[in-house]
Chain A
């Protein structure tokens, strides 16, 4: 299973490189933003999956509390770790784009701030996990926090529309016809697909690792913190 995860990740990374070759060489340069716009193919899919990962953590947690199936807990933990990484991608790629376009690395812009929120919830989730020793208690506590995190997401979204913002409004899934030129849309959709694959690859690897970790703990082996 670990090997499967590695393969998926490797393929996804190769494809990501491919997407960027396409983005840089074969996709038109956006008129007002120039080259900086290229980061959008990384930024937006990562943001979408950072948030989706939180929703998946929450859903897995709900089912966990009913079934007490340790596989769901392991999945939730894996999804949370991958979500944290994706949040980090969003939080680093955002400022890199913001510097040339907005003229500042960081603004307390609503969308950026709220990704920061998501990141903080993930960090809290992972910290809570590391602070509880007993596996069953850890799983229950983490599930409670995961469900609260999932329910926080819609409030974060509502809040976005109440703040004045500099952030570009979503332009892809707008009601009515998309305003994105065709080739940009294709590149973006490819990128979204690649990120989906990346998410799956990372989660499968992480899941397999924590499974092995638990097996090792069960036989009483000494393991470092994973």
Chain B
């Protein structure tokens, strides 16, 4: 199968997912509410006199995104199992990797929506200055998100067909999420402390390598999760 075909089919699949997702405004609305609630929980889960906002902000940001990603990933393949549409996709003359890529794109857009809401809300709620560091922060968030959504999309294709799917996905995924998460937090801490960009270059490189390795791996392994 040629690469342009794979990309075109991936986009057709992702567009279908996003159309379903954004058709009901419930999805996007729940995303906003979830992010707000997570921030509120964090606010009451600390002693404001003991822990300053700027020290806690990176943790709030990354833990919220991690949880949001798990929520988004949990429902990624439900759509395909409902009427056995997945069987139809496997029958269609498309490469298996385009099914994975399509899901990956849709999941990334969905998680990015959470993050797009989360970053301004963080500035608003916790009075943290993010604007001067916005460009590197966005790069950092994007790299980390690609990493764990790539692994998560692969895993959710498996967990959705097991018992206790909603519980099993975080159990499988979190050990793989903690590494990019910890790199993200440490880089964010340095970023917010106004340290030079060269100090976080190491983490950005690690995240980029992680993304390349796991996206490639997932593309290779995905067929094994769907075919008989």
A155 touches which of B155, B158, B210, B224 (Cβ 8 Å): B210
User: Contacts A140-B224, A151-B217 known; A131 to B168 CB distance under 8 Å?
Assistant: yes
Q: Are A148 and B176 in contact (CB under 8 A)?
A: yes
Tally of contact residues, B, Cβ under 8 A: 30
Residue A85, interface by CB 8 Å: no
Question: Which residues between 149 and 163 of chain A lie within 8 Å of chain B, taking CB atoms?
Answer: 151-152, 155-156, 158-159, 162
Residue B44, interface by CB 8 Å: no
Interface of A is mostly: helix
A124 to B98, CA, bound (A): 27
Residue A117, interface by CB 8 Å: yes
B175-214, CB under 8 A of A: which get 1 and which 0? 1101100110000000000000000001100100010011
Q: Are A144 and B158 in contact (CB under 8 A)?
A: yes
Residue B221, interface by CB 8 Å: yes
What A residues does B158 contact at CB under 8 A?
A: 128, 141, 144-145
A148 to B155, CA, bound (A): 10
Q: Are A117 and B175 in contact (CB under 8 A)?
A: yes
What B residues does A121 contact at CB under 8 A?
A: 175-176
Closest to A121 in B: B175
B217 touches which of A147, A156, A159, A162 (Cβ 8 Å): A147
Tally of contact residues, A, Cβ under 8 A: 26
B162 touches which of A128, A143, A148, A158 (Cβ 8 Å): A128
Q: Are A144 and B162 in contact (CB under 8 A)?
A: no
Residue B16, interface by CB 8 Å: no
Residue B117, interface by CB 8 Å: no
Add 6 more A-B contacts to A141-B162, A147-B217, A152-B175 (CB < 8 A). A65-B221, A117-B178, A121-B176, A128-B159, A145-B158, A151-B213
A residues at B contact (CB < 8 Å)? 65, 117, 120-121, 123-124, 127-128, 131-132, 136-137, 140-141, 143-145, 147-148, 151-152, 155-156, 158-159, 162
Question: Can you list 15 residue pairs at the A/B interface with Cβ under 8 Å?
Answer: A120-B174, A127-B172, A128-B168, A131-B159, A131-B164, A131-B168, A132-B162, A137-B161, A140-B225, A143-B224, A148-B214, A152-B175, A159-B179, A159-B182, A159-B183
